[in-house]
């Protein structure tokens, strides 16, 4: 295990909205942002109880959190989310587009359905694109902002299990580069691509329990699969001042599993 992280305050007084912050990786990013001094927008669609738990964790740190509900496949909902966030914080400094559907219950490509294809592309591509579009346009008007889209290293090897998920994460790279070019130099847009993360949902997966998790640990040079809290600060790096000259980028944190690069 790695030592306890030294948490620096990279976002004092700033506002950070995390989509899908009621569960999993999104919840940990929201809590970490609060630890680093941010006022946090905790977005959820159906996970109200989880969002309340995230807000309680932030309150226990002495932080400020606001719940923001919405379905990111609906442009009207996203516009309402934009208004809610900008009203709550009198502007918005950072958006973390964390929501995504990995087709978790699909164990093989043979089980793909048209319904699953439509849903994964709707959430991952349409939802991320529209959030980037609507929040980014408002950030342009205010004169600054940073957007981090949560991608995946599935784009390196593809997914024999769920091709629609790999296709969606490729789409996120394309839309990120497009809006990075459109919004520059005022608003930065980047992709953070974690490798495998042992969230509660991942640990419950049938394939993970039947040996896949152990196999992947052996193939990872760092020798382990991290939990979501360990990577939350890495995701937020792209929204920090230290990443001020990064836009349209694709940053990987996978323990060396893929070792992509020039």
8 within domain boundaries: no
3 within domain boundaries: no
Give residue 174's pLDDT: 98
260 within domain boundaries: no
At 125, list the tokens. Answer: 């591509």
Give residue 2's pLDDT: 58
Instruction: Provide the pairing of β-strand 145-150 with 39-44.
Output: unpaired
173 within domain boundaries: yes
Which residues, at least 6 apart from 145, have a Cβ–Cβ distance to it below 8 Å? 92, 93, 94, 95, 135, 136, 139, 186, 187, 188
Q: Which of 44, 165, 179, 257 is catalytic?
A: 165
261 within domain boundaries: no
Model confidence pTM above 0.75: yes
Q: How many domains does the chain have?
A: 1
CB < 8 Å & 24+ apart, contacts of 157-164: 157/258, 160/108, 160/109, 161/103, 161/106, 161/107, 161/108, 161/109, 161/207, 162/102, 162/103, 162/106, 162/109, 162/112, 162/116, 162/120, 163/109, 163/112, 164/103, 164/112, 164/116, 164/117, 164/120, 164/121
pLDDT tens-place values along the chain, 262 residues long: 556 778 999 999 999 999 999 999 999 999 999 999 999 999 999 999 999 999 999 999 999 999 999 999 999 999 999 999 999 999 999 999 999 988 878 889 999 999 999 999 999 999 999 999 999 999 999 999 999 999 999 999 999 999 999 999 999 999 999 999 999 999 999 999 999 888 777 777 777 777 788 888 899 999 988 889 999 999 999 999 999 999 999 999 999 999 987 5
The domain in which residue 94 lies consists of: 15-253
6 within domain boundaries: no
CATH, residue 135:
3.40.50.720
Give residue 50's pLDDT: 97
Would you call 165 a catalytic residue per the annotation?
A: yes
């Amino acid at each position: 295990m790695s030592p306890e992280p030294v948490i620096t305050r990279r976002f004092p007084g700033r506002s950070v909205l995390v989509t899908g912050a009621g569960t999993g990786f999104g919840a940990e990013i929201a809590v970490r942002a609060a630890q680093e001094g941010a006022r946090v927008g905790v977005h959820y669609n159906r996970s109200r109880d989880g969002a309340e738990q995230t807000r309680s964790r932030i309150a226990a740190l002495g932080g400020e959190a606001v719940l923001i509900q919405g379905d990111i496949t609906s442009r009207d909902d996203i516009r309402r989310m934009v208004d809610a966030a900008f009203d709550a914080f009198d502007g918005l400094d950072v958006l973390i587009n964390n929501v995504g559907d990995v087709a978790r219950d699909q164990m093989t490509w043979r089980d793909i359905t048209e319904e699953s294809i439509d849903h994964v592309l709707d959430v991952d591509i349409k939802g991320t694109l529209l959030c980037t579009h609507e929040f980014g346009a408002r950030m342009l008007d205010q004169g600054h902002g940073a957007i981090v889209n949560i991608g995946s290293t599935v784009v390196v090897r593809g997914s024999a299990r769920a091709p629609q998920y790999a296709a969606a994460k490729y789409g996120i790279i394309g839309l990120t580069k497009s809006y990075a070019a459109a919004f520059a130099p005022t608003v930065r847009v980047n992709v953070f691509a974690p490798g495998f993360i042992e969230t509660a949902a991942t640990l419950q997966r049938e394939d993970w329990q039947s040996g896949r998790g152990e196999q992947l640990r052996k193939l990872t040079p760092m020798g382990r699969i991290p939990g979501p809290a360990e990577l939350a600060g890495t995701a937020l790096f792209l929204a920090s001042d230290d990443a001020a000259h990064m836009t349209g980028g694709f940053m990987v944190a996978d323990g060396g599993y893929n070792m992509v690069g020039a």
